[in-house]
Chains A and B, each alone.
Chain A
Amino acid sequence: MKLKDIIAALDAEVVSAEDLEKEISGGYCGDFLSFVMAQAPAGCAWFTVMSNHNVAAVAALTEVGVTILCEGVEPDEQLKAKAVGRGLDLIVTAKPVFEAVKALDL
C-alpha cells in the first residue's frame, strides 16, 4: 500500500514524509521498543502510542517504512525534530490501533 493511501485511509496528520509514493508492506503493533526491534519487518507500518524521541532511533535502526502514532497521540518535540532531521516517515491518526490496522490493506 502506498504511503499516500495510508495517510488518506487513516485521515492522518503528516509529521514527516519524504516519499508519498513509497510502498509499505506488512505491519507491527506495539510500544515496547525491543519487541518492535525483534519483530517488525523492514519497510512495514509500525503502529504505536509511544511518542518520545527513542521512537525515532528504533524506527531508523529497524528500518520501518512508516511510524503511525495512534489514538491522536502527538510526538514530543524531540521526536518531531529527529523524524524531520533523519527523513523518517511519521504520521498521526486519531484512530485507535485496532481501528487503524483494520482500515489498511497491508
Chain B
Amino acid sequence: MSSLHLEFDVAGNNFVSAGSASDEVKKTLKMLGVDPVAVRKVAIAMYEGEINMVIHAGGGKASVDIDTDKVKIVLADEGPGIPDISLAMKDGYSTAPDAIRDLGFGAGMGLPNMKKYTDEMHIDSTVGVGTTVTMVVNLR
C-alpha cells in the first residue's frame, strides 16, 4: 500500500455534515483492507475531533495521511484556542453550551476519547489563534 493523502474542509456549526470526513476516511481505510480494529479507532478519534471543530471553532481543516504502518490525522482550526489543555483533557470537563448537550455532545469525553483511540496525540493551541490536533494510529 502506497502513501495516500486526503484533505477535508469541516464546516462550523453544522451537525448534519459533521462526521462526513471521518466517514470518508473510514470507507477509504476499509477499501484498502486495513485491520477493522484500527479502522474503528481512526473513525471514532477523527469524528470526535471533527465534532470539536464544529462546536468550538467554527470549523476547520482535516488532513489524513495513510501509510503502510500508520494513519496520521491533523485537525487544524482558527478557533478561540484552548487556554488550559490539561484541564480540557480531563474526563467530564466541557465548555459546550446546553444546546450542544441536547444533541448528545458536550459530555467532556471528546479529547479523552481521542487519546484513548490513538497511539499518539499532540495538541498545539494558542488562545485567539487556533488549535491543531495531531493524532497517529499505528497499523499492525
Q: Which residues of A does B touch, CB under 8 Å? A: 31-35, 37-38, 42, 50, 52-55, 57-58, 60-63, 78
Q: What's the Cα separation between A60 and B46 when bound, in Å? A: 13
Pull 12 A–B residue pairs with CB atoms less than 8 Å apart, ordered by A: A32-B107, A33-B105, A35-B109, A37-B48, A52-B103, A54-B104, A60-B23, A61-B19, A61-B22, A61-B26, A61-B44, A61-B47
B27-53 at interface with A (beta carbon < 8 Å): 40, 43-44, 47-48
Whether A38 lies near B22 (C-beta < 8 A) is no
From B111, which residue of chain A is reached at the shortest CB distance? A34
From A33, which residue of chain B is reached at the shortest CB distance? B104
Which residue among B26, B44, B105, B110 has the maximum number of chain A CB atoms within 10 Å of its CB?
A: B44
Cross-interface CB contact of A37 among B18, B103, B113, cutoff 8 Å: B113
Residues in chain B near residue A35, CB distance under 8 A: 107, 109
B115 to nearest A CB, angstroms?
11
By size class, the interface of chain B is 20 to 34
Whether A57 lies near B23 (C-beta < 8 A) is yes
Residues in chain A near residue B113, CB distance under 8 A: 34, 37-38
Not counting A33-B105, A61-B26, a sample of 16 additional A-B residue pairs whose C-beta atoms are within 8 angstroms of each other reads A32-B105, A32-B106, A32-B107, A33-B104, A34-B48, A34-B109, A37-B113, A50-B104, A52-B104, A53-B16, A54-B104, A55-B104, A58-B104, A61-B19, A61-B47, A78-B16
A92 to nearest B CB, angstroms?
17
Whether B103 lies near A63 (C-beta < 8 A) is no
Q: Does residue B116 face the partner (Cβ distance < 8 Å to A)?
A: yes
Residues in chain A near residue B109, CB distance under 8 A: 32, 34-35, 37-38
Whether B107 lies near A42 (C-beta < 8 A) is no
Whether B40 lies near A42 (C-beta < 8 A) is yes
Residues in chain A near residue B105, CB distance under 8 A: 32-34, 54
Which residue among A31, A35, A42, A57 has the maximum number of chain B CB atoms within 10 Å of its CB?
A: A57
Which residue among A32, A38, A63 has the maximum number of chain B CB atoms within 10 Å of its CB?
A: A38
Q: What's the Cα separation between A58 and B47 when bound, in Å? A: 9
- The 8 A-B residue pairs with the shortest CB-CB distance in the complex, in nearest-first order: A34-B109, A32-B107, A57-B19, A33-B104, A61-B43, A34-B107, A50-B104, A37-B44
Q: What's the Cα separation between A54 and B100 when bound, in Å? A: 11
